[in-house]
Amino acid sequence: MKGIFVHPTSVVNPDSSIGEGTKVWHYSHIMEGVQMGRDCVLGQNVFVGRNVVLGNNVKVQNNVSLYEGVQLEDAVFCGPSMVFTNVINPRSEISKKNEFQPTLVQKGATLGANSTILCGNEIGKYALVGAGAVVTKDVPDYGLVVGNPGRLVGWVCQCGVKLEFSSNEAQCAACDRRYSRQGDRVVELSVGR
């Protein structure tokens, strides 16, 4: 696998595709059918299940398992020890592989350390799920979700800074991007600096 780094303690199944510039660190395991883009980083002890799809520039911190049905678009960040599921009601003695539910994490979203994302939900682009939050429903684009169960408490800029809205408009204090709030949606109006 030219142009990638795989630590000698890691296992990569040969029929997976890993993009150039990607780094796979200690004790990680990539199963068959995985499609991983370029310039990704998988930390220590990361498991990537069958047929999982990762875009470009995805960062997965230590002790994260990406189970079958998970799709991470470009520039997604998975914090240390965060959790994905793929079955709503698992049982040890009953096979539920035909009940796997997909989870889509859209471009630029951040999933904080120790957060849990229940399967069948979608995380919108540039959303930020706080550390320890438990996501039980879809998160909108730019949404800031915290708590258990996760609840929408605000909005964040593409750069990650919390937005303060006045008359349904906001300008990021850090990068000057501008946004409009339309009900339970936020859309970017323009790029700042």
* Predicted confidence (pLDDT) per residue in 137-180, tens digit: 999 999 999 999 999 999 999 999 999 999 999 999 999 999 99
What digits encode the pLDDT tens for the residues 44-85? 999 999 999 999 999 999 999 999 999 999 999 999 999 999
Q: What is the mean pLDDT of the chain?
A: 95
Task: Please state whether the predicted TM-score (pTM) of the whole model is above 0.75.
Answer: yes
What digits encode the pLDDT tens for the residues 1-20? 679 999 999 999 999 999 99
Instruction: Parse the chain into domains and list their residue ranges.
Output: 5-89+98-157
CATH number for the domain running over 5-89+98-157: 2.160.10.10
- Number of DSSP helices (H) and strands (E) in the chain, helices first: 0, 25
Give the closest residue to 188 by CA, choosing from 144, 146, 137, 126: 126
